[in-house]
């Protein structure tokens, strides 16, 4: 059974850092590309970053470029989202999900499935 579990969220001050983790089970990370998405209260879920199944390609939303870094450890079946220089507008529930793409990845919400339960990130002083 394909399953993703997010962790690492919490409360952080503006300018701080957090690292989110997405643990995969039921499949290996060379099968699917993985995306990170977020949803703030009253807003639509938006794509944040994704990494291809080979790890050779990554994509970032303009709002997080230069601040967030996605990576993965195939042996540990973990996908990370390192978040730095956090802003209050980064506050959201963060989700990871899978997408079946042979090459690359995208931040198109509708392409993804096997969503995790989410982890809350709150950026506030």
What is the chain's pLDDT, residue by residue, as a tens digit (125 residues)? Answer: 999 999 999 999 999 999 999 999 999 999 999 999 999 999 999 999 999 999 999 999 999 999 999 999 999 999 999 999 999 999 999 999 999 988 899 999 999 999 999 999 999 99
**Each residue's pLDDT tens digit, 41-53:** 999 999 999 999 9
State the Cα–Cα distance between residues 63 and 110, nearest whole angstrom: 20
CA distances from 68 to 6, 17, 42, 84, 116 (A): 16, 9, 23, 6, 20
Q: What is the pLDDT of residue 70?
A: 98
Nearest to 116 by CA among 17, 45, 37, 50: 37
Decide if 1 contacts 26 (C-beta within 8 A). yes
């Amino acid at each position: 059974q394909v399953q993703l579990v997010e962790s690492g969220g919490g409360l952080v001050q503006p300018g701080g850092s957090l690292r989110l983790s997405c643990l995969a089970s039921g499949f290996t990370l060379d099968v699917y590309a993985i995306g990170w998405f977020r949803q703030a209260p009253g807003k639509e879920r938006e794509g944040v970053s994704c990494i291809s199944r080979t790890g050779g390609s990554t994509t970032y939303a303009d709002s997080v470029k230069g601040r967030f870094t996605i990576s993965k450890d195939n042996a540990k079946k973990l996908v990370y989202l390192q978040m730095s220089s956090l802003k209050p507008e980064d506050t959201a529930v963060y989700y990871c999900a899978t997408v079946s793409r042979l090459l690359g990845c995208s931040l198109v919400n509708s392409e993804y499935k096997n969503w995790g339960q989410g982890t809350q990130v709150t950026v506030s002083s």
